[in-house]
A and B are shown apart, each in its own frame.
Chain A
Amino acid sequence: MNEERKMNKTSRRKFLNFIIGGGLLGWIASVFYPVFSYLVPPKIPEANVNSIKAGAITDFSPNTGKIVKFGRKPVILIRMDDGEFRAFSATCTHLDCIVQYRQDIKQIWCACHNGTYDLNGRNVSGPPPKPLEEYTVKVANDEVTIINPAG
């Protein structure tokens, strides 16, 4: 009888140790998995406050404009006839519609109420009360980067 009890106790102890060992391993795994995941940098490796990569030069033909995402805000990137790049905030200063580049008049235009901005971002015609904020564009290694001049 004692032997049985001893056997039970031993097997119970072994079982307990097994659970503890297993539980400990599981616990360590559930701690290390998030930690390692955390250490792996996300696709965009930094809190890109200040600049974004807009693409390769070849993606933008002259006399065209494209809307790109800059953090939370839309920015219009324009490649002028002579190949130079300019970038401006794409939110119209009148009632917040998204502006577009007009190839015919070679200016920035807002379809909502016919507001026009020149290629320096200045509001030249229509209801917009203020110019568009300008962003800096840098071209390096055939890649176009848009930088927020404020930060």
Chain B
Amino acid sequence: MKNFLSLSTFLILFYAMANTFFIAEILYADNTVPSLSEDHCLTCHREMGILPSGFNENDIHMQPGLSCSGCHGGNPASDDPEVAMSPKNGFAGVPTRAEIPQFCGKCHSSINFMRTYRPRIQTDQVEQYYTSVHGKKLRLKDQKVAECVSCHTSHAIFSVKDARSTVYPLNVPNTCKKCHSDPDYMKEYHIPTDQFARYATSVHGMDLLENKDTGAPACNDCHGNHGATPPGVESVSHVCGNCHVNNLNYFTASPMAEPFEQLDVHACEQCHGNHGVQKTSDEMVGVGESSVCIACHDAGDNGYHAAEQIHHQIKTFVNLYDSAQVRLKDVQQKGMDDVDILFLLQEANQDLIHSRTLVHTFDPSKVAAKAGEGIKKTNEAIVLERQEVKDYHTRRRGFGIATLFITVLAVALFFKIRDMEKLRKKG
């Protein structure tokens, strides 16, 4: 036993020592990468207070082995400016605007380089950029157009997923707006500058900017980011369909799709607008003043007739649903049970949403079918509501009856007492 113990102890110790040697080798093997505190570009510029404007130490490129020299070149190990910033050591200085895509693309377009840092990152940004209006104009020496740092900044770059990033979904509209909402800046390009203003009042804009819903579309969700291009007819309608799947599917299968294409009318956008898309109202479908249908359809044609019918079906459903909601408030105010009613109305609401989506089939029978289901559920809810209100009144009636009994009893008792005492008095 003793021998076994001493042998195993020896083996364990030997093994540990051997491993320590290996680990130490790996740890200290590469001693050419200085830590940030040994990065003389950073330390000198910081000491002298000449850091670039907007410099942020948490920039995603501020890592050992990358930092300043990774983009600008030079030798960060030397504290002698002549050596550190020598072109012989690869120092490239500050790039011009036209050079920036290449400057960034040096790394970001090289999959072999990027995959050592982020295996799944895309490396087609520069390629895409040059297909966009921004890229094309930059090639033509336009000095005002956006390039990489216009949106990403130069020294405060963060991951798209980082809330501090200028290209974090919630920040994108404000980034694009810097140029696109400045009429003076955009004067020579002859394109509107009201996109942000309209977007900020739109359903999407309010959801993103005010409710901070990152699920809501920002500029790049419809326009793309690096390959940003003004959308044509097809790109808009397809893009909307990314989220509004059913609306697009119904529309494409509807009799309206072909005429729209032939007349070169933009789907979705024609009726709903683009940047300033508002919450839809039931008045949009139909033949009333604010309907979108009468823009093309005249009284008597099939479309006019269909619009009328669809409007009527939706309106009937909505009116019934609204009346059920009013009754629900009454039930709740009376303190009666609303659980089952709420559930039914929640389901009916789903049917309402679906009916409104089915408007895009422009087929009254389809809308009627779904609205019918919803109307049925709403009516069930109304039955329950009536019952609750009835119970409320029954309780009061029951109280009335109980009071009646009690009063009769009390009065009789009163007379009985009087009677008894008269008797007693008499002896």
Q: Which residues of A contact B (CB under 8 A)?
A: 12-13, 16-17, 19-20, 23-24, 26-27, 30, 67, 69, 71-72, 74, 94, 97-98, 111-115, 126-129
Point out the residues of chain A lying under 8 angstroms from B215, CB to CB. Answer: 94, 113, 115, 126-129
Instruction: Given A20-B416, A98-B346, A113-B215, verify A30-B405 contact (CB < 8 Å).
Output: yes
- 0/1 string, B349-377, CB within 8 A of A gives 1: 01001100100000000000000000000
Among residues of B, the one whose C-beta sits closest to the C-beta of A33 is B398
In the complex, the answer to whether B347 meets A98 with C-beta atoms within 8 Å is: yes
Q: Which of A16, A26, A67, A114 contacts B243 (CB 8 A)?
A: A114
Instruction: Given A98-B350, A114-B244, A114-B245, verify A20-B343 contact (CB < 8 Å).
Output: no
- In the bound assembly, the distance between CA atoms of A129 and B214 in angstroms comes to 8
In the complex, the answer to whether B216 meets A20 with C-beta atoms within 8 Å is: no
Q: How large is the interface on B (under 10, 10 to 19, 20 to 34, 35 or more residues)?
A: 20 to 34
Point out the residues of chain A lying under 8 angstroms from B401, CB to CB. Answer: 30
In whole Å, how far is A75's beta carbon from the nearest beta carbon of chain B?
11
Closest 3 CB pairs of A and B: A127-B215, A23-B409, A19-B412
Q: With an 8 A cutoff between CB atoms, is B339 at the interface?
A: yes
In the complex, the answer to whether A30 meets B409 with C-beta atoms within 8 Å is: no
- In the bound assembly, the distance between CA atoms of A83 and B244 in angstroms comes to 32
In the complex, the answer to whether A23 meets B405 with C-beta atoms within 8 Å is: yes
- In the bound assembly, the distance between CA atoms of A94 and B216 in angstroms comes to 10
Knowing that A23-B409, A27-B409, A74-B347 touch, tell me 16 more A-B residue pairs with CB under 8 angstroms. Answer: A19-B408, A19-B412, A23-B408, A27-B405, A30-B405, A69-B340, A72-B342, A74-B343, A94-B215, A112-B353, A113-B244, A114-B243, A126-B243, A127-B216, A127-B243, A129-B215
Among residues of B, the one whose C-beta sits closest to the C-beta of A127 is B215
Instruction: Given A72-B342, A126-B243, verify A26-B419 contact (CB < 8 Å).
Output: no
Residue pairs across A and B with Cβ atoms less than 8 A apart, 25 shown, are: A19-B408, A19-B412, A20-B409, A20-B416, A23-B408, A23-B409, A23-B412, A26-B409, A27-B409, A30-B402, A67-B347, A72-B339, A72-B342, A74-B343, A94-B215, A97-B350, A97-B353, A98-B346, A112-B353, A113-B244, A114-B245, A126-B215, A126-B243, A127-B213, A129-B214
- In the bound assembly, the distance between CA atoms of A128 and B401 in angstroms comes to 55
- In the bound assembly, the distance between CA atoms of A129 and B211 in angstroms comes to 13
Residues in B207-253 with C-beta less than 8 Å from chain A: 213-216, 242-246
Q: With an 8 A cutoff between CB atoms, is B107 at the interface?
A: no
In the complex, the answer to whether A111 meets B412 with C-beta atoms within 8 Å is: no
- In the bound assembly, the distance between CA atoms of A113 and B247 in angstroms comes to 10
Point out the residues of chain A lying under 8 angstroms from B340, CB to CB. Answer: 69
- In the bound assembly, the distance between CA atoms of A30 and B245 in angstroms comes to 61
In whole Å, how far is B88's beta carbon from the nearest beta carbon of chain A?
51
In the complex, the answer to whether B419 meets A13 with C-beta atoms within 8 Å is: yes
Instruction: Given A127-B215, A127-B243, verify A27-B419 contact (CB < 8 Å).
Output: no
